[in-house]
Amino acid sequence: MNTLGYHYVIEASECNPEILEDPKKLKEIILEAAKIGEMEVKSTYFYKFSPRGVSGMVVVSGSHISIHTWPERSYAAIDVYTCDVDSKPEKSLQYILEKIKASYAHITEIERGIEDEDGTYTHTILSWDEEPEE
């Protein structure tokens, strides 16, 4: 079996709303997360919605890290996807959760690009919940 990538889908709850509506701060967090995850940044784009919310994308050598925020709900939807076997996506996502001050996160890991015997591709899914230690 040869996997083409790992895709982490994160539902982050009870985050700091001030951080979630600050595109400059979120860009700083995501860029540092890419560095911590040993991913080479290729491009970035962050957009602030009116009246609230931010969407941001960092394209990395292996794929991307993205965030979409709803400050009024203290919620962020985060994706970390990489095909780079040398990167550390788990470190990236942990850093992001820490910096946006998430009190709870539901994380799904999707192992993508698993080639079946007939040449078609599929994926596997594993999910878990995380809460910060007191």
User: Contact at 8 Å (CB) between 132 and 103?
Assistant: yes
DSSP state of 14: S
Identified catalytic residue from 13, 61, 66, 83: 83
pTM (two decimals): 0.92
Question: For the structural domain made of 5-130, what CATH number should be given?
Answer: 3.60.90.10
Asked whether the predicted pLDDT for residue 4 surpasses 90, the reply is: no
Report whether pLDDT(71) > 50: yes
43 is catalytic: no
Q: Which whole number is the average pLDDT over 89-95?
A: 96
How far out from the chain centre does Cα 82 lie? 10
The more confidently predicted of residues 25 and 1 is 25
Q: Is 68 annotated in the active site?
A: yes
CB burial of 67-87 (b: ≥16 within 10 Å; e: otherwise) equals bbbbbeebbbebbbbbbbeeb
Pick from 86, 131, 89: nearest CA to 110: 89
pLDDT in tens, 97-113: 999 999 999 999 999 99
Task: Please tell me the predicted confidence (pLDDT) of residue 63.
Answer: 92
Active site residue 15: no
Q: Decide: residue 33, CB within 10 A, 0-12 exposed, 13-18 middle, 19+ buried.
A: buried
User: Which of the four pLDDT bands, split at 50, 70 and 90, describes residue 1?
Assistant: very low
